[in-house]
Amino acid sequence: MLKGTLLVGQSGGPTPVINASLAGVILSAREHAEITGIYGMIHGIEGVLKDELVDLQRESPQIIENLVYTPASALGSCRHKIEDKEYERILEVCREHNVRHFVYIGGNDSMDTCKRISELATSTGYEIQVMGVPKTIDNDLAVTDHSPGYGSAARFLALATRDTGLDLESMATFEDVVILEAMGRNAGWLAAASALAKTTEDEAPHLVYVPELAFDETKFLDAVSRIHARIGRVYVVVCEGVRDANGDFVGTHRMKKTTDAFGHTLSTFTIGVAAYLADLVGDQLHLRARFLRPVLIGRTMSACVSEVDRRESFRVGQGAVKRLAGGETGLMMLLNRISTSPYRCETGAVSLESVANAEKLLPRDFLEDSGVLPNEKFKEYALPLVGEAWQPVARLEKYRIKTGNEL
């Protein structure tokens, strides 16, 4: 193991458990004498470029312990796409602080950053070990069975859908349709999770739309009309990234087109596909439709954290340092599922090259033949990740009192 400072940062959208990974890194790093300092980047790689670092060894044990239960990114995050000329600056700052261990907690783009730093260091002869730690609520990181952060966001979305579905059921004389917009960009993992608490056909959600399948407005309206005619209400979940057969975002003609630093389209983040579809239902079917956009709530709600997710997030942070101690570099930590029933998962690692800028989409065989609801195969995959079982809801039998004419 190289002797020197360990530098750790967080990047991209936070999760409810990303700080558990940070705590795993810090606590594990404290066990190795070769690690002479533990520094944190303020707002990810932007902090390195500005030489804005903090000394994490000076933090109290209580604060590090509390990190495990703290949502969002404690060090601050960023979405900075590094220009070629900036990589030299990163190595310059690393040299100044004798950084020999570089750990970045993030998603697809963050793993590309790690890969390029590792390659540049090798080409310039600077000895530094680089390790990526995965996180994303979208669950779209390649190779790993699932991504830390997904289980908690999935738990939130499942309960949010079930509970607001019950609200719609109780208010069915005033409202007809609810459309909830799930995050996920190009992948339908989160949208599919909305059905994890569904136990009967008539419970929410009734329709789930994911980006992996082309969206057809006519078929959507037909499905809403048919379900409403049968039970008097319709609960729809739609991923923010759904596209039509031409590959255009649904409702794109009403959206302000923007992109982030990595070129990811943010059109659906500005107005929202759920709002568009709610208007469509009102205009075409003359039904009362409401839209819901939990967005940031779903990725920061500590009250809905999956304990399985929290433990695994800590373990991948801890495991990253253990691999650095073993002399390994150029890897991303991952989670390998050993069995589903009972659920067992181990940490592993894969080359950064295998995951950088790669995307894992929701498989077609995780959806019913209709394509508008996840199936049992998906539930078998996802349920172990959301933690302990939630309390079942009560449904009154509603025994009717006989009227005077019936007595």
Structural tokens at position 274: 């759920």
Identify each DSSP E strand in 24-128 by its residue range: 35-41, 53-55, 99-106
Please report, for residues 56, 75, 294, 371, 388, the alpha-carbon distance to residue 154 in angstroms, rounded to integers and kept in the order given. 31, 24, 12, 19, 13
- In whole angstroms, give the CA distance from residue 52 to residue 9: 11
Cβ-based neighbours of 198, under 8 Å, separated by 6 or more: 161, 162, 204, 205
Q: How many residues does the chain have?
A: 407
- From the list 138, 140, 176, 309, the catalytic residue is 138
Please report, for residues 155, 211, 374, the alpha-carbon distance to residue 364 in angstroms, rounded to integers and kept in the order given. 22, 11, 9
Q: How many CA atoms lie within 13 A of 111 on its CB side?
A: 27
Q: Please, what is the angle between helix 307-325 and helix 150-170, to 10°?
A: 170
Compute the chain's Rg from CA coordinates. 23
What burial letters (b/e) apply to 229-238, b meaning 16+ CB within 10 Å?
eeeebbbbbb
Is 138 known to be catalytic? Answer: yes
Active site amino acids:
138
